[in-house]
Each structure stands twice: as C-alpha cells, then as structure tokens.
Amino acid sequence: MDLKPSHIFYLQDSFNNFFDKRSSHNRAKIEETLDNICEGGCSIHSIPSITVASHDGKWMTVDNRRLWVFKELERLGKCYNVDVEVGYSIPSAKLTTTNGGVTIDVRGSPGETWYTKPGSGSSSHYQVVSRTTRYTVFDDWGFDFDFLLLHTK
C-alpha cells in the first residue's frame, strides 16, 4: 500500500537523531541519509519500508526515523508516496506520543543541510531538543536520573 508521509503519524514522542546499528544506514545521522538521497548518493529505496497500523482512525508507525526522512523528502518535493507494510497492532509500550503523533522531538541535531532548506510543505512535524531532555526526570525524592545516566558510564 502507498501512503503520503504526511498522512502517517508518529507513535512515540521522540527519537534519537542516529539510525541504529541494525539499519542499512548504520549509525548515520538521519540528516546524512536525507542529504545522500537529495544529492543522489543513494536512493529513497535504500530505506526499508515502514510498518503502519491503524490507531484511532490514523495510520501510525514506530519507524520514526524513517518517517522523519520520508516527511522531509515530501516537504522538499522529492517524495510523494511511500510503500508501507500494514501491521495489525500497536505496541502499547511504544505509544508515548502526547499529541496524536502530529509532531515528534528529535533528540540531538539532525545534522547536515537539506533539512534547513525551504520546501513546499511544513517542517512543523518535529522539533530539535537536547539529547538529555527526554531523560531529565526526578523521582519522589528529587533524584536526578539524568545525572545518573551521564555519570555511570
């Protein structure tokens, strides 16, 4: 099935700005992948299709990094539809969005240049936040878990 990236919603509230090591874009910043596609260094088809599932009448995905790249390509006029796999369930532990999946926080700068270029669509589907923003939480006694994460390596 084909869908416009803008018709797919994020399931989570944030993601790290690097593809994970299991990806064909192993540890690359999401923007490096976007730049490579926009500059002809690789094809949009080098990104595996995303899996979507229906939730509250919307198509949602946990494949947030890939969706971010597809949405940016759509915004830049370089992609209109993407092939998606239809799944049948939403993992409840992954459902962390607080805004229906309309926007997502990118933990850390996306990187390179293409995401800063004006396009035909809106870039309001994400905001860049510091890497530690998601993890700065306090327990009932005021313990800073972010401090613990940064100092236990």
Residue 66 falls in which region: left (phi positive, over 0), alpha (psi -120 to 50) or beta: alpha
The alpha carbon of 102 is separated from its chain's Cα centroid by a whole number of angstroms, namely: 11
How many domains in the chain?
Answer: 1
* Token pair listed for 14: 């944030």
* Token pair listed for 24: 């064909």
**What local confidence, expressed as pLDDT, does residue 51 receive?**
94
Would the pLDDT of 144 be above 80? no
Give mean pLDDT, residues 125-149.
47
The CA–CA distances, whole Å, from 140 to 137, 143, 144, 145 equal 10, 8, 10, 12
Q: Beta partners for 90? A: none
Helix, strand, or coil (residue 99): coil
Domain residues for the domain of 84 are 2-151
On whether the CB atoms of residues 132 and 94 are closer than 8 A, the answer is: no
Tens digits of residue pLDDT in 105-128: 888 766 556 555 655 555 566 766
* Token pair listed for 90: 């939403």
Tens digits of residue pLDDT in 40-93: 888 898 888 899 999 989 999 989 889 999 998 998 899 999 999 999 888 888
